Structure 1
Amino acid sequence: MNDIGHSNELHCHAYQAMKSALEIRDANMYDDAICYFRNEINEYEKHCDKKILQEPIVYKKYDLGEAEEIAYRVWCLSHHLFLNLLNDLINIETAFAHDPLTITHYMVDKRKEMRDSTEPPKWFSMLNQLKEEYIYSLFDQIAFFINDFWKLGIKERYANAANVFSHDNYPKENVALQAIFWSYCELNERFGDAENPSEKKWKVLRNALEHKFAKFHEYSYKAPLKTAEDGFYHISEDDLKKGVIRLLELGREWLIYLVYAIEIEERKSTNSDNVFCLTIQDFGDEWKV
């Protein structure tokens, strides 16, 4: 994680959750699992201050706004959709109801990339736009970002997800990019004896909403998700909600992996010689256009 504070809090949550789980008397618990998690607890206690690990984690309460905004933010919290790693926790806290995910540092050669500009590197602006993008456009745009940042050399017109993730020079040695790659494969490829890719129906739904025509039914509709005789895709309202939430979850995963991939890449090139830091100022929402 690129946020030390969040990282420490997640470790405390993990430690306390494992301790609580092992206190449960359950005959169905596997001995190997008990042994494994006891070892994990011992590792935590060996390398961390036990007092800090055991201290109750209390978060400051924040005002979520007016009635509609409260409903929206609580819905996002309950579906774990904020670009905030703490929102992966089971707990629902008002402190998690914001999107702090960002590129924490990026090193450039000022003589080449910033010679005639006082603007920060373009990646910051591109990431901010990705965070505001429509879900059906997000996946191809993240692929476009990867092609540009890692200089895969795919021409702009062809820099879509299909071409980027199948490219011979796709940097799979970067574990975060590898995670995006396998997530993409779940939308497209079959594994083992599976008849369909595990996530393909959501890709079909995404393409139908963007490029074709669809009819939504208030009640259950059991037909396969494909073009019917009337030229429409037919889907129930409930399945539509499930599909949109799943696409939102995938989009969130990809954005988090993308930021971590940049962090991993930056570690390769970071050199303290002849480098100085420029802080990018953070502005409140009321100052943004």
Structure 2
Amino acid sequence: MLDLESILALETLEDVEPTEALGAIALLVDYAMDTVDPEMTTRALGWADRLESRLTADTDLALLDYYRANAWANRHNEARQDCTRAWAWDQEPLQQQLLLLRRALNRVTFEDLPSHVQCQILTNLGNQLSFVGRFIEARELWSRAVTTLPKFWMARFNRGNGLMAYARCLYDDGHRCALALSAHTDMTDAITDLDSHPHYGDPRLRRNFVAVASQIAEHVDLASFAAGYDAEGSSLGDDAGEQAYRKWCLDHCLFLNPLNDTGPHSIAARDVMQLPTFATALDEKPVVLGLFNQLKQEFVSARWLYFEGITTQGMHFSDRDVALYNTLDYPALGLAAEKVKVTFRMSYSLFDKIAFFLNHYLKLGIPVTQVSFRHIWRDKKTGVLRPAFENTENLAFRGLYWLSKDFFDPDLKDTTEPEARACHDLRNHLEHKYLKLHLMMQPELASTSEPFDLFKDDLAHSLTVAELEQRTLRMLKLARSALIYLLLGMNQEERRRRAATAADDRMGSMPIYMADDIYKQRFV
């Protein structure tokens, strides 16, 4: 293996064996970070570009993705030192890190990597998502790293740090204190793990960790709050069916409730999030109340349909005596499968409706027929970010913007989230074409010289039931995140507006009442 001195003397890796070249790139990236040397970072990225075609093992390609992402992190660290550059919504180094880390994570051999490398990839991806405002999805990645290696303190501390970023965006004092308590616990546990397992990161971070944890304790009376906080004292319902449903929602973090992001605690088993306090002009109607009602109702209804679809046992009576063909490719038919399909469509449609909400609330002036979640952020003619978003210090709205990059755009296919095309194609076939579900997939023919396959359906977009359920759950989780980011971003925008409004121009308040449950019944 080449040592650092030999690597620094090289101009090219063409004559170096591929696996050894991979190690050389890793060392050079670390050296560039330690010395803050942009020229070494550029050299490492150039070497990585040329090495990719020489690597054949998928695990080596995953490592190359990880090392490349670290090189782009070196470039990104320069920008983060400047507040204005750090708040820029478009940052190529950040985009590259997200794409490369996700590509490493999505490789089929990811779990063949050493456990600590898996945790480093998961933690770094979580860090970058949190930086752009997607702290909810980031938490899932950090938690996955902690599950893989319980003593991996970098993931645990960053999970706590991400919870504090979340807490600062909240507008309910109780929720904010609960997240601060959970964050502080993660941080102090991470410090303990750092002392016993310093090799999982840079132990020089300990001083900073202690300072951040102490700052939380200075601003929040954690002991008093913890004494009166009963996370497990709430009912999950009156019967076994409701209890099973609410427990499932808690376990998958699907309640519109920030407390669910601290864990599957019974106190979080309610969809309590509402619009923040907001102001309207005297001649403007508060129509966003009804619009948000509909967004929330569609989400919780889609969530229930999915639960029914994946837990129903046996055939529903509505499917009895429905004459369908057996296509001899293990078809999955029936109402339960259709409920999962409907859930995917409902969840996917929520994003364009969130864009519709933003278009009205921020007065973007986009014609209604042209509003979409993927394209609301930029001026259609110039392609630049709209003034309502550009460089604004609204972390949650920035999170929504970066979430929109998870949706496939054929014009931006090289910079789109790796699974976005699959979800885009699935939605396209559900809405306009033909999706066929299978209990299991038949193996593909070895080559085109094989006999004609009578039962291969070339017209269909084929998935197994498990694949559809997995993608639908992912879409539900993203929809939940988007709705929460919408509320938190609106709260930040209202703070900005209040600060910009002269005291004499402020108006009185109008009470808003919660709808009684009678309005949730069917009237005949």
TM range (shorter): 0.7 to 0.9
Decide whether aligned partners of structure 1 residues 35 and 209 sit closer, same or farther in structure 2, where only a CA change above 3 A counts. Answer: farther
Cα distance in structure 2, aligned partners of 1:11 and 1:189? 38
Does the aligned pair in 1 maintain the 2:374–2:407 contact within 8 Å?
no
TM-score by length of 2: 0.48
Does the aligned pair in 2 maintain the 1:221–1:236 contact within 8 Å?
no
SS at match of 2:375: helix
Which amino acid in structure 2 is aligned with residue 64 of structure 1? G
Identical pairs, percent: 29
Match of 2:372 among 160, 179, 183: 160
1:140-179 matches, within 5 Å, as 140-167=352-379, 168-169=385-386, 171-172=388-389, 173=392, 174-179=394-399
Decide whether aligned partners of structure 1 residues 159 and 48 sit closer, same or farther in structure 2, where only a CA change above 3 A counts. Answer: closer
Which amino acid in structure 2 is aligned with residue 250 of structure 1? L
Please tell me whether residue 40 in structure 1 is matched to residue 212 in structure 2. yes
Cα distance in structure 2, aligned partners of 1:27 and 1:194? 38
Does the aligned pair in 1 maintain the 2:256–2:484 contact within 8 Å?
yes
* Runs of 4+ residues deviating >4 angstroms: 53-57, 193-196, 220-223
Match of 1:26 among 194, 197, 218: 197
Structure 2: give runs of 5+ residues left out of the alignment. Answer: 1-169, 299-345, 380-384, 445-455
Does the aligned pair in 2 maintain the 1:16–1:54 contact within 8 Å?
no
Cα distance in structure 1, aligned partners of 2:172 and 2:442? 44
Greater RCO, CA 8 A, separation 6+: 1
Which amino acid in structure 2 is aligned with residue 41 of structure 1? A
Q: Deviations over 1:87-113 (max 9, x none)?
A: 1123x2222111111112111222x12
Shift of 1:79: 0.6
Task: Say which one has the larger Rg.
Answer: 2
Decide whether aligned partners of structure 1 residues 62 and 54 sit closer, same or farther in structure 2, where only a CA change above 3 A counts. Answer: closer
Structure 1: give runs of 5+ residues left out of the alignment. Answer: 115-120
Shift of 1:288: 3.8
Match of 2:244 among 25, 46, 71: 71
Number of matched residues? Answer: 275
Cα distance in structure 1, aligned partners of 2:375 and 2:415? 24
Decide whether aligned partners of structure 1 residues 33 and 188 sit closer, same or farther in structure 2, where only a CA change above 3 A counts. Answer: farther
Please tell me whether residue 94 in structure 1 is matched to residue 266 in structure 2. yes
Match of 2:406 among 186, 190, 197: 186
Cα distance in structure 2, aligned partners of 1:155 and 1:143? 12
Shift of 1:138: 0.6
Which amino acid in structure 2 is aligned with residue 218 of structure 1? L
Does the aligned pair in 2 maintain the 1:82–1:98 contact within 8 Å?
yes
Does the aligned pair in 1 maintain the 2:257–2:273 contact within 8 Å?
yes
Shift of 1:129: 0.3
Shift of 1:211: 2.4
Decide whether aligned partners of structure 1 residues 170 and 244 sit closer, same or farther in structure 2, where only a CA change above 3 A counts. Answer: farther
Match of 1:276 in 2: 508
Greater helix proportion: 2
SS at match of 2:470: helix
**RMSD over aligned Cα atoms:** 2.7
Shift of 1:26: 2.1
Does the aligned pair in 1 maintain the 2:276–2:490 contact within 8 Å?
no
